[in-house]
């Protein structure tokens, strides 16, 4: 099975939690894309009705519009029944790293206000500790003096050998054009040489920095994680 087939299997499994009349958080990324498509398919087959989607990014908004899923927002629907989204990393306590697709702020707004948050991943996303994989831990920051903020973020995690890099479009020598989020902010990606210890402490320290908008650690938020692997699908409940 290809990685995309595994993503699709996890996504379809998650959509089994969807019932008619639900307000649904629609996730962002290559895995969540399959869940959005599946929801639209069931709506069009008449197997689901009266669904309202709350998209977690402009790209998911566009996909849902193109598929005919009725949409609204958190202002009109502050309580979301179920959110389905992917993740970049999942630890044994179902804590997540998200945001490598750049949508972490709107995702966290939607997913922190939902009754049930089902995460869909292929098995490659499972890790022992968040941030230890050497892959990016995204932090959304205001563009104003982003270098100052990046320097302070790096200093927070000096003993974890932290490197802080502005996310740019295309990788070229001149550093390229800064990636701009749906909310008009920049992303500073943090890279750690070893895991960052207590996640809640790290989260509080990051969020206390004026200039930081949000980070990609989703702690104690997932209620269920669906993992699709070569040997089958595993459902992990909190
Ligand atoms: O950027 C994001 O938050 C995405 O949801 C990411 O966490 C998962 O994207 P993927 O399903 O394409 O790997």
Start-end of H helices in 16-126: 32-44, 58-67, 104-111
Return the pLDDT at 195.
Answer: 76
Residue 90: CB atoms within 10 A of its CB come to 24
Task: Check if the beta carbon of residue 218 is closer than 8 Å to that of residue 92.
Answer: no
Please state, as a whole number, how many other Cβ atoms lie within 10 Å of the Cβ of residue 207: 12
User: Which of 87, 97, 85 has the alpha carbon at shortest distance from 123?
Assistant: 87
pLDDT at 170: 76
What pLDDT is attached to residue 173?
56
Contact criterion met (CB below 8 Å) for 52 and 81:
no
Q: Please give the distance, rounded to the nearest whole angstrom, from the Cα atom of residue 98 to the centre of ligand 1.
A: 6
**The predicted structure's pLDDT at residue 151:** 98
Q: What is the pLDDT at residue 134? A: 87
DSSP letters spanning 143-158? STTHHHHHHHHHHHTG
Is residue 36 a contact partner of residue 59, using CB atoms and an 8 Å limit? Answer: no
Q: Which pLDDT score is estimated for 17?
A: 98
pTM of this prediction exceeds 0.95: yes
Query: What is the structure's pLDDT at 31?
Result: 98
Q: Which of 6, 26, 100 to mutate to test the pocket of ligand 1 (most atoms within 8 A of CB)?
A: 100
Question: Which one is catalytic: 16, 19, 41, 107?
Answer: 107
pLDDT in tens, the chain (238 residues): 999 999 999 999 999 999 999 999 999 999 999 999 999 999 999 999 999 999 999 999 999 999 999 999 999 999 999 999 999 999 999 999 999 999 999 999 999 989 999 999 999 999 999 988 889 999 999 999 999 999 999 999 998 899 999 999 976 656 689 999 999 999 999 999 987 889 999 999 999 999 999 999 999 999 999 999 999 999 999 9
pLDDT of the residue at 176: 85
Nearest atom of ligand 1 to the alpha carbon of 120:
11
Sequence-distant (6+) residues with CB within 8 A of 60 are 26, 27, 28, 32, 33, 36, 103
Question: 24 φ, ψ to 5°?
Answer: -115, 130
pLDDT given for residue 174 in this prediction: 61
Ligand 1 in reach of 27 Cβ (< 6 A): yes
Distance in Å, CA 228 to ligand 1 centroid: 15
Q: Is 107 a catalytic residue?
A: yes
Q: Report the separation in Å between the CA atom of 111 and the middle of ligand 1, taken as the mean of its atom positions.
A: 13
Please tell me the predicted confidence (pLDDT) of residue 175.
65
């Amino acid at each position: 099975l290809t990685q995309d087939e595994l993503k699709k299997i996890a996504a379809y499994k998650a959509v089994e939690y969807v019932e008619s009349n639900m307000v649904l958080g629609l996730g962002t990324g290559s895995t969540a894309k399959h869940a959005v498509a599946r929801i639209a398919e069931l709506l069009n087959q008449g197997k689901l009705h009266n669904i309202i989607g709350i998209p977690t990014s402009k790209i998911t908004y566009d996909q849902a519009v193109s598929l005919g899923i009725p949409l609204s927002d958190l202002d009109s629907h502050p309580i979301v029944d179920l959110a389905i989204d992917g993740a970049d990393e999942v630890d044994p306590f179902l804590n997540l790293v998200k945001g490598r697709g750049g949508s972490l702020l709107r995702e966290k707004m939607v997913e922190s206000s939902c009754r049930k948050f089902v995460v869909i991943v292929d098995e490659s996303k499972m890790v022992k500790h968040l941030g230890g994989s050497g892959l990016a831990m995204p932090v959304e920051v205001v563009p104003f003096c982003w270098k100052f903020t990046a320097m302070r973020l790096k200093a927070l995690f000096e003993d974890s050998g932290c490197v802080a890099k502005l996310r740019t479009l295309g990788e070229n020598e001149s550093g390229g054009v800064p990636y701009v989020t749906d909310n008009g902010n920049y992303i500073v990606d943090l890279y750690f040489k070893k895991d960052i210890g207590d996640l809640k402490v790290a989260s509080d320290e990051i969020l206390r920095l004026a200039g930081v908008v949000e980070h990609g650690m989703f702690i104690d938020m997932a209620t269920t994680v669906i993992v699709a692997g070569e040997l089958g699908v595993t459902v992990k409940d909190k």
